Structure 1
Amino acid sequence: MRPLHATLVLALAASLAAPGAAGAAQAADEPGTVHINAVKNPELRAYRAIAAGLDTFDAQHALAPDVPQLRFQVEGRDGEALEGEWPVARIAADDFSIPLSLDEHARFSVPRSQAAWDAKAELILNRKKNEVRVETWVRTPGLPDNQYRMGDIRLDCRVKVAIGKAEIPFWAVGLVNGLLLTTDWCSWFKGETPKGGDRNWPRSANAKFSAATLRDGERSLALKVSGKSFRIPIGDTSWSNDALVEVTYAPTASTAEPASDAAAPLTRTAGETPRTAP
């Protein structure tokens, strides 16, 4: 069984699925507007928590200097392709609404807004929280689909932790700080322990892996894979930020190459909702 402290930090830091405050704002009555508040129990996040993630991205940008900005991605609850109505996202409060533009991969950026901060606004989607999840997306441009950069993963962890800390009670943050003996939760994930424990950070994608290897110069390490994730020792500073994880994707029913979260191309058929390609 996984130790209690590992369970807590993974539950509180590794996921962006925690709900925000209840309620959703009415969008302006404009042609083509989707009224997000018509969706019962929509997926949403507190803007102030997102702002904490933006602050951390800026402060720790040296980990991934070629990543131009923090982005977010909407995906199925288990990382699968989106189905049904295409997501629409807004930053909204009682008296205003800022529409967000999603690209063909369902990725988007969130602008800084003092008005949104002051109003305790929320990021709101027109999809129920049990249908989709919003993940941070930090990836150096130009990487092959089968490679992940260590610095990108480290920065993504720190952004996730910053958002998670802003969304959970102060006592819970203190509890995890005490259990890990550090306020830098990501540094705790240093790899296998002498007693056989697993202190590796889980990195997920939207396709299943069959193998993953961490490489840094002449040094290499086979990583544990499970379904759509591999586990990596991001807290082990002996691995540089430029170290790369090379993955092999598991065979699929078709002969087509499965899409990683680096590419995840979406297709749009006339008259149909755009979806992630298989």
Structure 2
Amino acid sequence: MSICLVRAALPAAWVLACLGVCMDANAQAAQGTSLPTVTISAKANRDPVEKSYRKMIRGMDLFEREKKSMAPDASLRFKLLPRRRETDMNAIDLEVIGTTIDFPVPIAPDHTFTMPRNPKAYDENAQVIPNRKAQTMTWRSEIRTPGLPPGTRRLGDLRLECRVGMESGLVSRGTSIISAITGAIFDTPAYCDQKAPLYLFFAERPLFSVTLASGERREILPVAMLYAAASDDPKLDRDLPDCDCEVLVDRTYFLPLDDRSWADDTLVEFEYMEGGS
């Protein structure tokens, strides 16, 4: 199977890929009434970019079930990423808040964290809430096998990242009616196994190219699979604010997750923009 996408379909596909997951307004209201009265900033945030603790634990469970076959030596962390240029990613307070329980989650300097398991928080369907407003950040799972060459990732790790991210409900969407409809289609791990799934990955720095390498076989991804396919979107200025990649477009890429001719041990090699940071 070719890893090239049909360019004619990309403008619509890009919108679907970039439309983010917003929580149903009625569900938010119902959850809000059960939160305890507290004073710290994350809990006082009127427009939180919150996630479901229960879903994130389910994502961790999926990782434990599937890592042996896809990423046997890898570890799982979660990562926070900016969605707006003005978003302050320093000193973020992250807390799990249920009806009767709340506890902080430490965040590492690279904006990653592990989620502690707490049966009471799970039973109470707690929320994971940072002290940042909605539409200012996005979330991803980060699965890494140690000992890889610099500037590379392992395809099996990234395949599992997609599955864990979808199971955990991490991809942030905008507030359009289209996003509500597409959410029901995309918010399952099975999406990652569909033909040419448009799951956005983020590199560490602005990208020049991405290459798949497996033994003697090498293939450079087409530009249509970089930059959230924005080069093919004639309505970029309108669509970009609905994408959780808005401020990181130059770091984004898609992968042929469904193409099993590329083994899980395939290396994904990054060539970065000169001077990119």
Q: What's the TM-score once normalised by structure 2's chain length? A: 0.70
C-alpha displacement at 1:183, in angstroms? 7.6
1:1-278 equivalences in 2 (<5 Å): 2=9, 6=13, 10=17, 18-19=22-23, 21-22=27-28, 23=32, 25=35, 34-62=40-68, 63-68=70-75, 70-77=76-83, 83=88, 86-164=91-169, 176=185, 184-190=190-196, 201-224=199-222, 225-226=226-227, 227-252=250-275, 258=276, 278=277
Number of aligned residues: 231
Summarize the Cα distance change of 1:113–1:9 in structure 2 as closer, same or farther, 3 Å threshold. farther
Separation in 1 of the partners of 2:170 and 2:209? 32
Separation in 1 of the partners of 2:11 and 2:209? 28
* Matching residue's letter, 2:95: R
Separation in 1 of the partners of 2:268 and 2:86? 23
Retained in 2: the 8 A contact 1:47–1:120?
A: yes
SS at match of 2:51: strand
Amino-acid identity (%)? 27
Summarize the Cα distance change of 1:242–1:45 in structure 2 as closer, same or farther, 3 Å threshold. same
Higher helix fraction (1 or 2): 2
User: Could you report, residue by residue, the CA deviation over 1:208-261 in whole angstroms, capped at 9, with x for unpaired residues?
Assistant: 101111000001111132221222211111111110011111123xxxxx5xxx
Q: What's the TM-score once normalised by structure 1's chain length? A: 0.70
Higher strand fraction (1 or 2): 1
Which residue in the other structure is 2:244 paired with? none
Separation in 2 of the partners of 1:97 and 1:138? 27
* Matching residue's letter, 2:185: V
Separation in 2 of the partners of 1:103 and 1:220? 35
Separation in 2 of the partners of 1:174 and 1:10? 10
Retained in 1: the 8 A contact 2:139–2:171?
A: no
Summarize the Cα distance change of 1:4–1:76 in structure 2 as closer, same or farther, 3 Å threshold. closer
User: Could you report, residue by residue, the CA deviation over 1:47-98 in whole angstroms, capped at 9, with x for unpaired residues?
Assistant: 1211221121111112111113x211122116x7962652111111122112
Retained in 1: the 8 A contact 2:164–2:189?
A: no
Alpha-carbon RMSD: 3.5
C-alpha displacement at 1:19, in angstroms? 3.7
SS at match of 1:128: coil
Separation in 1 of the partners of 2:58 and 2:263? 26
Retained in 1: the 8 A contact 2:95–2:129?
A: yes
